[in-house]
Structure 1
């Protein structure tokens, strides 16, 4: 259509259409995930991917088809549809139930007014099968992934384009041109996403190193500093509660001196894992941070002093019951804990931190292995 009306080769329009949808997807996905992360709320990335990817793919296919559905050129976006299927199934690995794709395809047939044509039903069944096979090969680490990807993409496209040519009485020269253009785009798409994937992995590693403690795999002081600032502002603006628990591992230097620093590392890892498990049972909104050597903080949004003390008691008991085995030696540790909640007198997060830290200091000064609440 683009070539006959505007003298633009079909492969060029296909490239722009596909890149446009992919760019739209990444823009929406990045905006949603950044917005949720900024508010420190839990997010299921896979669910966001499925929702945004499905919306962009289905919306763009139906929107473009509305432009040509009543003309003899309604086949012109076939390559675009197949590339979007590969984008959703292979590169995003979105596990959409096959019956959802089938229903959407039947709706597409109703849109085009060809629901009573056997070739359209054959196309629909193969289209759904193409999705299933593409998804399966994307989630399995089989050998020679590019050759598998290209073979499946071309074989299905050859059959599907053959059905389109039969249905619209297209000549085989058109078939060869469209299939050739499609193959070029399939190869380019693979290269594009290889670059994107490498870039994404680099960004993820940078994000992990900037926000997560490499030893204990809990969030670090930088992440704590951002989170407490966010919660402090939110509490000031919306009059919500905020509590904090701070704890130290008692006599941690003695563990290092007696058993070695590797034993100390094992203690830190297992204490962090135990506390994380306790918090997960209590409330997923409670987040553990390693803010110093053996010092940890827990932020509890929407908690008052009574509620946070109950959480501190569960954390205290969880660590007390922990048995850490290292080189056939069982190490048992305890923690000293300080607890407080945000007050109107706190002019900044540091005031809040100092009060919790003072409570922790009292626990240590008074013999350790206890909780101080104020």
Structure 2
């Protein structure tokens, strides 16, 4: 057997398989995040839909490996891939998720092979490696050690494991020569390094994209969603209205005499007012299912309220107005009374574009300001 056929070709195949699995997983993760519409939060594989998807994806991969091993007739097939899968789901996923994946591979093994001696060896070996990996992860995280310590320890464990296979020559495992043991250990070390590099790089890229998305859609002063985020959400809700018959109301809101606050107390005081108003808007919006508040301009805010009719939105807006009106806003050494003006409109079936609702809410707002401010105008009041 030539060096090329014995070493280079199988190793390259393994590397491309590993990279392909990583890239496919990350593509599907980004697809799930984009479909959910929440691209500004850090990616979390420990809970929620991504945890569920991770379990399904890697459990399916583990089951596939076991089916291939059964077809080959001995456990030598895909040993490195199966161990890498076991290591990295234990490292990156929660204990519940990783054990679920391990359980899926165990169940598949038992169904295909039965409770043979080889199966018992397999269950014992994978359980020991799983517990050992958990212990190493605990130590690494407790003492805040670099990840390279963990990766290097995995390489050592696999070196010991392949040496064990060589010296014991387990019958269900097939004949393991020194050349096979050395090749598989070297292959594991290289694939382990590439896998760690690939995962680290893709996670950093995902975090960077998340940060950019957050910066692009979040107002830096108030931490509210900004106008770009408003337009994206508004267009989605407009589509949902016509597709799923989901109602949609909008409140356009201005802080009354905000310029006077800036002129009298300074722009830093004005920023304090904006932050405090924003907190109230976000707090109140959180009480209505699906509602979201946005800062769309200087002292201008919009609130989108799906599933509410005009009367319900009117009740919401008056409660919001009262909370602001009867609150005291600390500015410098003072406590200011503030009021807001609002315009309320609801989406209709004959609205051929989303801008029509936006314009009606805006018209209602300007009517409230024209009538002396500290008012709420509903669109049906001007008909």
Q: Give me the TM-score of the superposition, normalised by structure 1.
A: 0.85
TM superposition shift of 1:38? 9.0
3-state secondary structure, aligned to 2:286 = helix
CA-based RMSD: 3.2
Q: Is the 8 A contact 1:98 1:128 kept in 2?
A: no
TM superposition shift of 1:197? 2.9
The 5 A counterparts of 1:1-374 are 9-37=9-37, 46-90=47-91, 92-97=92-97, 99-111=99-111, 113=113, 115-117=115-117, 118-130=120-132, 132-133=134-135, 136=138, 140=141, 143-161=144-162, 165=166, 166=168, 167=170, 168=173, 170-283=176-289, 285-374=290-379
Q: Which runs of 5+ in 2 are unaligned?
A: none
Q: Which runs of 5+ in 1 are unaligned?
A: none
TM superposition shift of 1:287? 1.1
The change in CA–CA distance for 1:152 and 1:367 in structure 2 (over 3 A counts) is farther
TM superposition shift of 1:59? 1.0
Q: Is the 8 A contact 2:58 2:101 kept in 1?
A: no
3-state secondary structure, aligned to 1:316 = helix
**Residues 214-256 of structure 1, C-alpha deviation per residue, up to 9 Å, x if partnerless?**
1111211122122222322332344432110111112212222
The change in CA–CA distance for 1:124 and 1:82 in structure 2 (over 3 A counts) is closer
3-state secondary structure, aligned to 1:343 = coil
Tell me, in whole angstroms, the C-alpha distance in 2 between the residues paired with 1:101 and 1:130: 17
Q: Give me the TM-score of the superposition, normalised by structure 2.
A: 0.83
Deviates further, 219-228 or 243-252:
219-228
Q: Is the 8 A contact 2:90 2:130 kept in 1?
A: no
The change in CA–CA distance for 1:151 and 1:244 in structure 2 (over 3 A counts) is same
TM superposition shift of 1:334? 2.3
The change in CA–CA distance for 1:151 and 1:327 in structure 2 (over 3 A counts) is farther
The change in CA–CA distance for 1:364 and 1:37 in structure 2 (over 3 A counts) is same
3-state secondary structure, aligned to 1:282 = coil
The change in CA–CA distance for 1:136 and 1:315 in structure 2 (over 3 A counts) is farther
The change in CA–CA distance for 1:372 and 1:135 in structure 2 (over 3 A counts) is farther
Tell me, in whole angstroms, the C-alpha distance in 1 between the residues paired with 2:157 and 2:325: 60
**Residues 63-87 of structure 1, C-alpha deviation per residue, up to 9 Å, x if partnerless?**
1321231545432212112222344
Tell me, in whole angstroms, the C-alpha distance in 2 between the residues paired with 1:358 and 1:268: 23
Deviates further, 355-364 or 324-333:
324-333
3-state secondary structure, aligned to 1:372 = strand
Q: Is the 8 A contact 1:300 1:308 kept in 2?
A: yes
TM superposition shift of 1:97? 4.6
